[in-house]
A = this chain, B = another copy of it.
Amino acid sequence: MKVVITGGTGFIGRMLAKRILELGQLTGPSGAPEDIDEVVLFDAVAPPGPIGGLDARVRVVTGDIADRDLVFGLIDRDDVSVFHLASVVSGGGELDFDLAIRVNLTGGLNVLEAARARGSTPRVVFASSVAVFGGAAMPKRVGDATKQTPQTTYGATKAIGELLINDYSRKGFLDGRSARLPTVIVRPGKPNLAASSFASGVIREPLNGETCNLPVKPETAMPVLGYRNIVEGFVRLHEASPEALGDDRAINFPSVTFTVAEMIEGLRRVAGNRHLGEIVVEPDPRIEAIVATWPSETDAARALALGLPVDQAIDPIIEAYIEDFLDAI
């Protein structure tokens, strides 16, 4: 079978591709495990260099997800699964509303329509976000049954994507699942336009010996999940039976809430003798305003019942990053 990962050259896309290649099989539209012979990483721009850890089954395709014909050309086999990760991120969507609608809404519809056109009811896993929650009436702890009143265009388009995944699944056009992700840490590389980018940066930059300008107060709390468990959660959500998901295909991913101060304490414990760059608290009202609209705790009863993994502490998340990205080089 073929696996298409949109946003595939991004960090999570690449990690997911590696994990899928390692597994070698996923449940196909037939309902039985099928060997994976083709993985397409689709993204808006080509990666700066070769992607390590992949193999000859993988192909990178670049283009505009709002181009319907291009997207239909990616999803060109009946024995296919799609992981739809491509998205304008939270901070980016606040800067460019029209781009967020174009990529997240029009692009998302193209992916769903292309999967529907196969007629084989492919599994489609959609990366949603806890940014679907927000607003004055939001409870402190958001669960699978909490009303979605997003306060960013990013969150609004993710909530719309969940509604579409549910309806396309109900109609039998595809077999969809929406993964409502907390903030993913620790992302390697450079900061991005996500308002949550600092949650990785506050660990990554000091470990790289660089100064981190922290745009929020250290007491800021947010639900996070280490990328290893994010990737594993995507795979397990793909493998869950349609019956276990029922008529609401969107689930809160498991998460654990830390304050930024707790992340920094964990960093100091794990770093040991490593030299750490400085952390300078420089609150940015634009970032603080976005982060303030997000929930600080999530309840993930459905995900835990489906067997999705969760981190229990900050230290192993930081240790995994050091192992995968610092010591591995």
Are the C-beta atoms of A164 and B156 separated by less than 8 Å? yes
Q: How many copies does the complex hold?
A: 2
Are the C-beta atoms of B145 and A145 separated by less than 8 Å? no
Choose one: B109, B135, B146, B159; the contact of A248 (CB below 8 Å). B135
- The complex places the Cα of A97 from the Cα of B168 at a distance, in Å, of 10
Known contacts A247-B135, A248-B137; A167 and B153 CB within 8 A of each other: yes
Most B CB contacts (10 A, CB to CB) among A144, A171, A248 go to A248
Instruction: Name the CB-closest residue of B to A171.
Output: B97
- The complex places the Cα of A147 from the Cα of B148 at a distance, in Å, of 7
Min CB gap A99→B, angstroms:
13
Are the C-beta atoms of A166 and B146 separated by less than 8 Å? no
Are the C-beta atoms of A150 and B167 separated by less than 8 Å? yes
Are the C-beta atoms of A146 and B149 separated by less than 8 Å? no
Are the C-beta atoms of B171 and A150 separated by less than 8 Å? no
Are the C-beta atoms of A156 and B149 separated by less than 8 Å? no
- The complex places the Cα of A151 from the Cα of B246 at a distance, in Å, of 12
Is A193 at the interface (CB under 8 A from chain B)?
Answer: no
- The complex places the Cα of A185 from the Cα of B136 at a distance, in Å, of 34
Is A15 at the interface (CB under 8 A from chain B)?
Answer: no
A sample of 13 cross-chain residue pairs with beta-carbon separation below 8 angstroms, ordered by A number, consists of A101-B109, A134-B247, A147-B147, A148-B163, A149-B166, A149-B248, A150-B163, A153-B167, A156-B163, A156-B164, A159-B163, A160-B160, A160-B163
| Smallest CB-CB A-B distances: 6 pairs | A156-B167, A135-B247, A147-B147, A149-B248, A156-B163, A145-B147
Apart from A150-B163, A156-B163: 16 A-B pairs, beta carbons within 8 A: A97-B171, A134-B247, A135-B247, A136-B246, A136-B247, A136-B248, A146-B147, A148-B148, A148-B163, A149-B247, A149-B248, A150-B166, A151-B247, A156-B166, A160-B164, A163-B163
